[in-house]
């Protein structure tokens, strides 16, 4: 009887451990959007990064144990304006020849409300790494997760905008980065 109780207890522990394991989610870039909004001479403009990828490990029951790694091709930044699009890859802006990628690495997630979280991590652009807390809302339906959020950055904190562009005289220092991410559970 004691052996049976021990086996049942071990089985329940194994099931509980398996259900508490975080799932690995892969970003579906075809269904996702990573954009930015800035201002030049007082006029707002929007853009997007067309190439990015990432993997997220997340369990709503234990968000602090999760992590994420998202890589963005800086050369994929476009605004639809020929002059801006021609300048963004240059050394004054993203310097894509030297820094072809930006990266956000989250080391954990914090719940901040019903369906709302904050990814705590580090953003690296142009070789400059800064701590960043990224707020987002999350909805999981079956094997699909949808997350969206917005964060404000000061572009010069990351060296984006050199020379005449290093002040707010022509282009505002604050940039709003927004995302609408769809991710699929790996192995599903």
Model confidence over 21-67: pLDDT tens digits? Answer: 689 999 999 999 999 999 999 999 999 999 999 999 999 899 999 99
For residue 149, name the pLDDT band (cuts at 50, 70, 90).
very high
pLDDT at 14: 35
pLDDT, average across residues 127-145: 96
**Domain containing 49 — which CATH number?**
2.40.128.110
Q: Is residue 84 in some structural domain?
A: yes
pLDDT at 41: 95
Nearest to 102 by CA among 173, 153, 147: 153
Q: Helix, strand or coil for residue 147? A: strand
Residue 173 and residue 13: Cα distance in Å, rounded? 52
**DSSP strand pairing (52-58 vs 33-40):** unpaired
Q: Is residue 13 in some structural domain?
A: no
- 80 — alpha (psi -120 to 50), left (phi > 0) or beta? left
Look up the domain containing 116 and give its range: 22-185
pLDDT at 101: 98
For residue 125, name the pLDDT band (cuts at 50, 70, 90).
very high
Residue 178 and residue 147: Cα distance in Å, rounded? 11
Give the tens place of pLDDT for each residue, 151-166.
Answer: 999 999 999 999 999 9
Q: Is residue 85 in some structural domain?
A: yes
Percentage of the chain surpassing pLDDT 90? 86
Please measure the distance between the N-terminal and C-terminal CA atoms of the chain and give it in whole angstroms: 39
Q: Is residue 77 in some structural domain?
A: yes
Q: Is residue 15 in some structural domain?
A: no
The total domain count for the chain is 1
pLDDT at 7: 33
Q: Is residue 152 in some structural domain?
A: yes
């Amino acid at each position: 009887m004691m052996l049976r109780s021990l086996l049942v207890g071990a089985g329940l522990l194994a099931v509980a451990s398996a259900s508490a394991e975080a799932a690995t989610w892969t970003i579906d870039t075809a269904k996702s959007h990573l954009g930015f909004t800035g201002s030049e001479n007082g006029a707002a403009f929007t853009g997007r990064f067309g190439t990015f990828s990432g993997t997220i490990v997340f369990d709503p029951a234990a968000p602090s144990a999760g992590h994420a790694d998202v890589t963005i091709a800086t050369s994929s930044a476009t605004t639809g304006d020929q002059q801006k699009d021609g300048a963004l890859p240059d050394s004054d802006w993203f310097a894509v020849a030297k820094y072809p990628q930006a990266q956000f690495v989250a080391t954990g997630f914090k719940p901040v409300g019903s369906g709302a979280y904050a990814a705590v991590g580090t953003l690296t652009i142009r070789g400059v790494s800064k701590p960043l807390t990224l707020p987002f809302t999350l909805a999981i339906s079956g094997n699909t997760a949808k997350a969206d959020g917005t964060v404000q950055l000061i572009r010069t904190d990351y060296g984006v905008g050199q020379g005449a562009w290093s002040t707010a005289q022509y282009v505002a220092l604050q940039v709003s980065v927004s995302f609408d991410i769809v991710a699929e559970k790996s192995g599903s």
